[in-house]
Amino acid sequence: MSKAVVTIGNFDGVHAGHRALIARAREIAVSAGGGGGGGARVIAMAFDPHPTSRLRPESAPARITRFDRRVELLREAGADEVVRLEPTDELLAMTPDEFLAKLMRDVRPVAVVEGPDFNYGKGRAGSIETLIDEGKRMGFGVEAVHPVEVALSDLSIVRASSTLVRHLVAQGRVRDAMLVLGRAHEIAGVVTKGDQRGRTIGFPTANIVQDAEQAVVIPAQGVYAAWARMPDGRKLAAAVNIGARPTFDAMEPRIEAHLVDVETGKPAAGIPEYGWRLAIEIVGWVRDTVRFSGIDALKAQLERDREAALRLLDCGFDAPAADGLVTLKPAAPVAVRATRTMAQ
């Protein structure tokens, strides 16, 4: 069995704090090869769905990322392999000792990298301290990595967390969510047929329906600037309406993306009008949802929305680079009793 450096968690959103864990795991993996090179593999073990969805379904947090996208992001961050941990009744019933015994059977890590608040086992009975003690006994090293702090647009300093990202997105603070994530919040789904009112007034929209099993948190109702990622790889500017359409007395929530410079419902040769997947990266808030007095007033506002979205996108109001986050604490080991039994 090849050497492995492991990090375990939900990794929902793969935000700045998650990437700090992967980065530290990568450093340890490289050094694990000693003078001979080769190193170890970095394995991210990600729960999916969130364990709370099994234990207390009514309290389960909304997803930030679909699992397939989470795998892509973890690999981009430096993981060699992503292992899905399904929170079965058997897994959730394991004591901390039983969980670590399973980890040793399945992976046999040389090191485990976690945050200082890491818990494991039934009832979250295991902690970073017990993990360190067990690591000494079982022969693997443990490092706890500082949380990452980020400066938001109001200059407040916050700790990067999935809970924070969910809150920011739900409040419509998508720019602040970008600062924590290191990229724009993404919603993806299948384009379905709507009532086609938009095309009759010169603003055709793609109506996006998420997969219920993998649906992610959506921003507060309003109009947003976004990039639409097409099946053929293109990125198109978009003005996205999220929520109700009170002007038409349509109060059911919708996700409707107006693709700028696309005149019909069919966006490109070879792409059907409906049934294709569209991903939108939400990068800026434009306005709240309001009721207009009539179609002419609505059309005038939609034109302003389109121009506002283009201004935001043209001004570089795009997802920041992963290394462009404002972090106050580096991804460094916490001063705890970290063992050093891994080969370094």
Q: Could you tell me what percent of the chain has a pLDDT over 90? A: 74
Q: Is residue 170 part of a domain?
A: no
Q: Average pLDDT of the chain?
A: 87
pLDDT of residue 2: 86
Q: Is residue 35 part of a domain?
A: yes
Lowest mean pLDDT among 2-11, 70-79, 184-193, 268-277: 268-277
β-strand pairing of 81-85 with 41-47: parallel
Closest CA to 284 of 192, 175, 207: 175
Q: What is the pLDDT of residues 206-244, one digit of tens each?
A: 999 999 999 999 999 999 999 999 988 889 999 999 986
Q: Rounded CA gap, 254 and 256, in Å? A: 6
DSSP letter for each residue of 94-162: --HHHHHHHHHHHT--SEEEE-TT-EESGGG-EEHHHHHHHHHHHT-EEEEBPPPEEE-TT--EEE--H
SS3 of 308, please?
Answer: helix
**pLDDT > 80? residue 123:** yes
pLDDT of residue 267: 63
Shared domain check, 189 and 144: no
Shared domain check, 242 and 135: no
- Length of the chain (residues): 344
The pTM for the full model equals 0.87
Q: Does 49 sit behind a cis peptide bond, omega within 30 degrees of 0 on the bond before it?
A: yes
The range of the structural domain enclosing residue 136 comes to 4-148
Q: Compare 264 and 27 and report the one with higher pLDDT.
A: 27
Q: Compare 46 and 318 and report the one with higher pLDDT.
A: 46
User: What CATH number corresponds to the domain at position 279?
Assistant: 2.40.30.30
pLDDT of residue 266: 60
Q: Is residue 312 part of a domain?
A: yes
Shared domain check, 215 and 127: no
Are the beta carbons of 179 and 326 closer than 8 angstroms?
Answer: yes
Cα distances (angstroms) measured from residue 311 to each of 8, 210, 221, 224: 41, 28, 21, 12
Mean pLDDT across 253-281: 81
CA dihedral 161, 162, 163, 169 (to 10 degrees): 110
